[in-house]
Amino acid sequence: MRIYNTLTRKKEEFVPLEEGRVKMYVCGPTVYNLIHIGNARPMIVFDTFRRYMEYRGYDVNYVSNFTDVDDKIIKKANEEGVDSSVISERYIEECKKDMAAMNVKPATTHPKATEEIDGMLEMIGTLIEKGYAYVAGDGTVYFRTRLFKDYGKLSHKNLDDLQGGMRSLLVSGEDQKEDPLDFVLWKPRKEGEPYWESPWCEGRPGWHIECSVMSKKYLGEQIDIHAGGEDLIFPHHENEIAQSEAANGREFAHYWMHNGFLNIDNKKMSKSEGNFFTVREIGEQYDLQVLRFFMLSAHYRSPLNFSRELMEAAKNGLERIRTCAQNLKFLSENNKAQELTGEEKENLAKAQAFVDKFNDAMDDDFNTADALSAVFELVKFANSTAGEVSSRAYAKALLDILLTLTDVCGLIVLKEEELLDGDIEAKIAQRQAARKARDFAKADAIRKELLDQGIILEDTREGVKWRRA
């Protein structure tokens, strides 16, 4: 696998720190609103890369945070007259619903900034001890940017150019900095804001420190991949590197991956200009699998323009794959012939070429656009070689290949038919019979089979009750 590394500006062979394992951190959203389709881009693309790595046999530890303390959250909380945790918890729940609707797998861990304050106090303490940070008169703690000699290595920025730009940006209250380049690790509380005790002042953390701390806690001092949208390269990720490498004394992340921006009608998405959609709004107009397909139809590093035409094209593309999958399923269940013929065996060997093409595309810095082309070639091949006279085994084998590839993309192409109430009752009766016969393994297996299809059983005094999840 080759990955484009923002740090070196090159595609590099992927060599994990530990064989067979991947430690990956993806910067998550600030939760003050419903997520927009721009936020959905890193969620979808990095979830797809995770799925691909799992398919290639890696054990992926995937951590993605929720930033739940921030000016925008506090502003909204004050407007509504509630605690800021009410706002952040509300939008974390909404974000999780959107993720599920887009078939984005939950991370291994979803830490929240407000639950990791102790770790932040510890890392800031270490940075002060090592001389990388200092406490200003009002208790603000700043990072001494110039002392970290690799500063700028990710964004390829030169400190003196930065300094020129920063002078004009100096805002009041920052005159206590030793250097305009220094950035905040901890800041004093203001009226109406959440705050925590610290050795320096009652206050709250700066934004960057949370990711350095959560990444270390859940993945260790060194990780394989750190990812997010390209707007995070500077200053967020540059500052994360400075904090982590200064505190831990070793390289932080080996590969830095950044997705390009999602624009609307070729303009930057912006709330004020009204060219802005939430995932929820798009979900009212389209199946969100269409949004997922649309995101994967472009290379993740390229800018991507959201337009109705492209969404319609994505809808048609997905439909073509779905029709093929449904057709193969029907043939695999209804055709007369059962066993593979010699010609079908040869065709299956040919179909393997599309799998290889898919894998090659994904191995080349996750080229999902080319990977989807390989899926379409497979669809075309299936449409022309599978029909009523094919064997059930042939249709089933092609379907399995198609479902494996679409599952790596996180695309649901075959909706499981809903179990009918009668089928459920029949299964429950079988389970009761198994229990009576003290065949508990069988009873458990039936329970699990139903659960896998979203049916939950509850044993009550009045008998077994069931409901759909």
Report the partner that residue 211 touches, choosing among Zn ion, ligand AMP, none (CB closer than 5 to 8 A by kind). Answer: Zn ion
The least CB distance from residue 240 to ligand AMP, in Å, is 13
Report the partner that residue 152 touches, choosing among Zn ion, ligand AMP, none (CB closer than 5 to 8 A by kind). Answer: none
Could you say whether residue 111 binds ligand AMP (CB under 6 A)? no
Closer residue to Zn ion in complex, CB, 7/382:
7
Q: Choose, by CB under 5 A, the member of 63, 73, 117, 211 that binds Zn ion.
A: 211
Report the partner that residue 7 touches, choosing among Zn ion, ligand AMP, none (CB closer than 5 to 8 A by kind). Answer: none
Closer residue to Zn ion in complex, CB, 38/317:
38
The least CB distance from residue 5 to Zn ion, in Å, is 17
Tell me which residues in 109-148 interact with Zn ion (CB under 5 A). Answer: none
Report the partner that residue 398 touches, choosing among ligand AMP, Zn ion, none (CB closer than 5 to 8 A by kind). Answer: none
Closer residue to Zn ion in complex, CB, 151/394:
151
Report the alpha-carbon distance of residue 67 to residue 64 in Å, rounded. 10
Tell me which residues in 14-53 interact with Zn ion (CB under 5 A). Answer: 27
Tell me which residues in 228-267 interact with ligand AMP (CB under 6 A). Answer: 228-229, 231-232, 259, 261-262
Closer residue to ligand AMP in complex, CB, 212/391:
212
Closer residue to ligand AMP in complex, CB, 26/147:
26
The least CB distance from residue 26 to ligand AMP, in Å, is 7
Report the alpha-carbon distance of residue 157 to residue 166 in Å, rounded. 13
Report the partner that residue 115 touches, choosing among Zn ion, ligand AMP, none (CB closer than 5 to 8 A by kind). Answer: none
Q: Choose, by CB under 6 A, the member of 60, 63, 120, 269 that binds ligand AMP.
A: 269
Closer residue to Zn ion in complex, CB, 148/256:
256
Tell me which residues in 25-54 interact with ligand AMP (CB under 6 A). Answer: 27, 29-30, 38-39, 41-42
- Size of the residue set binding ligand AMP (CB under 6 A): 15
Closer residue to ligand AMP in complex, CB, 67/391:
67
Footprint of Zn ion (CB under 5 A): 27, 211
Binding residues (CB under 6 A) for ligand AMP: these are: 27, 29-30, 38-39, 41-42, 228-229, 231-232, 259, 261-262, 269
